A and B are shown apart, each in its own frame.
Chain A
Amino acid sequence: MDRLDMRQISKEFGGIAALSGAGFSARAGEVHALMGENGAGKSTLMKILAGAYTHDGGEIRIGGEPVSISNPQDAIRKGISIIYQEFSLASDLTVAENILIETLGHGLFVDRRAMDARATELLTRMGFDDIDPGEIAGGLTIARQQVVEICKALSRDCSILVLDEPTAVLTTHETEKLFDLVRRLRDQGVCIVYISHRLDEIFSLCDRVTVLKDGATVGTWETAALDHKSLVNLMIGRELKDFFPERHGTPGEVALEVEALAAGTLVSDISFSVRRGEVLGIGGLVGAGRTEVLRAIFGADPLSHGEIRIDGKRHVIRSPGNAVRAGIGLVPEDRKQQGCLLHMPILNNAMLTPVNPHLGFLGLIREARERGATEALRSRLNLKAASIDAEAGTLSGGNQQKVAIMKWLVSGCEVLLLDEPTRGVDVGAKVEIYRVINELAANGAAVVMVSSEMLELIGMCDRVIVMRAGRLAGELSGAQLTEEGIIELAMGRKHVH
């Protein structure tokens, strides 16, 4: 009988459907994979199961009984535990205290010895008896912290365990140990839901796989009945829609050259170039280091190695101010937190740049000039707003994105970096943003666009470079530029065989 059964789950966020008809059923003693592209609805579905969101429609059954999960406590009481990529360990407490954190609230005194004994028992059951329950959790390796998380879930008798990309941060050896642990739990009758982008893991670990696409379930298959290619096809299988506006003109001179760029602990050895009038896409999974590359070029994060040239001239970029003066603009991923001044008028947003040609002597504001320039931009970008004095926060997502772009048109930047420019906007607004991007390129700007939507990359970009785990996995253009091609590079299937 099915341990967990989620049926026809639907969920809306502000009128946009994130899930409609999503669901799957998983048995006790099974490892069940949940797959889909970024934004297919996996995370939303799991957050509903965890009680972080409540669903608008559909039904959840556990052990055949319909249940209602309206908060995280409900989920824990029903035996559901989710291990997220970011752990929720208290890093200053000991391993035992973390594992048994729920019991810490009971009674006046803590019986340390009993706690340590219980923690040791759980750790031994998992095959990790070499972890000392008295150790401070924050001092453990990531892999061992993950084990502690799993033991914490087991301490409250969890019968359904969800692992959300558990191997993303692990080495190969650690992954093997985790797989042993998962198989051990499976044999003990736990129902395990496994989310991963790594195809080979699915095939070596999971019994069945459910594929989600655009918020709905495509179907459930025995993994033995599938191969890599058929699974990838199930995940993407759709036609390129025709809502990408035509772009005219041919690329000109090389505007931006990036050579052997490295930043932070993740990104290294990234090289590419973009011509004027060209749109270059950067594809890859979430966490592959795409945002980090843009931020490093823009000087928002320090560059540990590499060279950046604009129009063939080398620039040392230590801050966003340097980048803007070199002619680079960035439209960040998080529009509301980083892209716009939500509580300020459109005009102030447009003039938010160190290169404002409309200012007078000593930074005096010449209002008439600024208003004229902002009005011109408003009609050029087809910005829908009551007036340029309207606060940016009152606009729709797509129009906010246009406001975030305005300042770079004022400063006259020649290289525009866009990070997920259409995230969270509806289809109509997406087309508007595509039109703006094309217009900028047609006017001679070099555009670099990070996107998790493969259709967007294929429809908008002349070329696409794909990143995996902080490195360049390959470049695609012309006939090679397909969803299969991007997915294969992003997930590293090419390197499996």
Chain B
Amino acid sequence: MSTNPKAPSLVSILVTYNIYFMLAALAIISTLLSEHFLTLQNLFNLLRQLAPLALVSIGMLLVILTGGIDLSVGSVAAIGGMGVAMAMPALPFDGATALFVCIFGAVLFGALLGAINGVLVAGFGMASFVATLAMMTMARGLAYMLSNGQPVRFPRDLPTAQILTGFGSKGVPGIGLPWPVLAVLVIIALFIFLLRRTNWGRLTVATGSNEDAVRLAGLPAWRYKFLAFTLCGALSALAGIFVTARTAVGTPVTGIGLELDAIAACVIGGALLSGGRGTVTNTMIGVLILGLIGNIMNLMSVPAYPQQIIKGVIIILAVLMQGIGARTKRRV
């Protein structure tokens, strides 16, 4: 109150844009730690690895915006990745059309699993934590059953498979930007547009903000929740396909713990778990922060187990800073 409101203090700038500063700080630390970090090759590899998490995080954000949570994303991703790996050699025809059919089918199946979550939560009023926990174990069980617990390999020389693995390992000619990263960028742009520029996006956020008010305005709140779960399922299956494309194998253990990383990305990005607040852009910053943390620790040769502890600490720090941010804003 005492300072000119048009000249925000340094503290308030730091607090408001804390995740951008955090990302910048992590990038600087990485650069100092290793001369290899700031090479195009390393950055592209990092982004390629983060592509599936980015997709799942967008889906998770949609669900979180409506006030729900989806624990089944990792299992659905496993089914999506395996489904494509199993379907490609089984199809009677080859090539781009076959790949399209496989991807379309797998994504559709993911959407179906998400829709089941949606019906349980939006239709039957089940707590999303419980409904998606059940879906998480069911989908994982299905993945193990389909593959007998073994990785699903496919002939490398199959034309369909060559297109898929090419997508997963190569980049845009000339620039070198990996194809999966380009695809994720397009999807990010699409969802930024949908959430900011369409009535559907606005009402999805409103449903999480105050479901009663939305319903009493005469709007079908259940439909926004249902759609969020359905889209989350579709995006999760797509994420699994991206994993298969990169690793050239479909495994039933894909995406174990992925739901936690996706929730962490949303939360670091400032999404409220109670719904109604969060943006795609900030969630993607959250994904990058998680990715950089892992990258730094790999560069420093921190063993895997301590990495988990450090990751947890950083999540807590990020959320604490947002809490301070919210309090400062309220005081102004």
Contacts and interface: CB of A to CB of B under 8 A. Distances in A.
A189 interface: no
Given A353-B218, A364-B197, A341 B202 contact: no
Most buried by A among B214, B218, B220: B218
A363 B198 contact: yes
Contacts of B10: none
Nearest to A339: B213
Contact of A337 (B199, B200, B210): B210
Contacts of A362: 198
Interface in A283-320: 298, 300, 319-320
Contacts of A344: 205-206, 209, 276
Nearest to A299: B218
Interface string A451-478: 0000000000000000000000000000
Contacts of B197: 364-365
Interface residues of A, number: 32
A155 interface: no
Interface in B29-67: none
B212 A363 contact: no
Interface in A341-366: 341-344, 348, 351-356, 359, 362-365
A351 B203 CA distance: 10
B210 A341 contact: yes
A397 to B, nearest CB: 16
Interface in B187-222: 197-200, 202-203, 205-206, 209-210, 212-220
Contacts of B199: 351, 356, 359, 363-365
A351 B217 CA distance: 10
B326 to A, nearest CB: 11
A330 interface: yes
Contacts of B215: 300, 320
A322 B209 CA distance: 23
Given A321-B219, A344-B209, A365-B199, A352 B276 contact: no
A209 to B, nearest CB: 40
A407 interface: yes
B311 interface: no
Given A337-B210, A337-B212, A352 B198 contact: no
Contact of A338 (B205, B216, B277): B216
Contacts of B220: 319, 321
A323 interface: yes
A340 interface: yes
A334 B250 CA distance: 53
Nearest to A298: B216
Interface in B165-199: 197-199
B277 A352 contact: no
B198 A354 contact: no
A348 B217 CA distance: 12
A126 B199 CA distance: 62
A337 B203 CA distance: 17
Contacts of B205: 344
Contact of B218 (A332, A343, A354, A363): A354
B280 to A, nearest CB: 16
A320 B202 contact: no
B213 A363 contact: no
B200 A363 contact: yes
B325 to A, nearest CB: 15
A279 interface: no
Q: Which of A323, A355, A363 is most buried by chain B, counting CB atoms within 10 A of its CB? A: A363
A327 to B, nearest CB: 11
A325 B276 CA distance: 26
A320 B276 contact: no
A314 B84 CA distance: 54
A344 B210 CA distance: 10
A341 B198 contact: no
B212 A352 contact: no
A477 to B, nearest CB: 30
Nearest to A331: B216
B66 to A, nearest CB: 13
Given A337-B210, A337-B212, A344-B206, A364 B218 contact: no
A326 to B, nearest CB: 10
Given A352-B214, A365-B197, 11 more contacts: A320-B215, A320-B216, A338-B212, A340-B210, A352-B203, A352-B206, A353-B217, A353-B218, A354-B217, A364-B197, A407-B217
26 contacts: A319-B218, A320-B215, A323-B218, A332-B216, A337-B210, A338-B210, A338-B212, A338-B216, A339-B213, A340-B210, A341-B206, A341-B213, A343-B277, A348-B202, A351-B199, A351-B202, A352-B213, A353-B217, A354-B217, A354-B219, A356-B199, A363-B198, A364-B197, A364-B199, A365-B197, A407-B217
Interface of B: 197-200, 202-203, 205-206, 209-210, 212-220, 276-277
The 3 closest A-B pairs by CB, nearest first: A324-B218, A363-B199, A320-B218
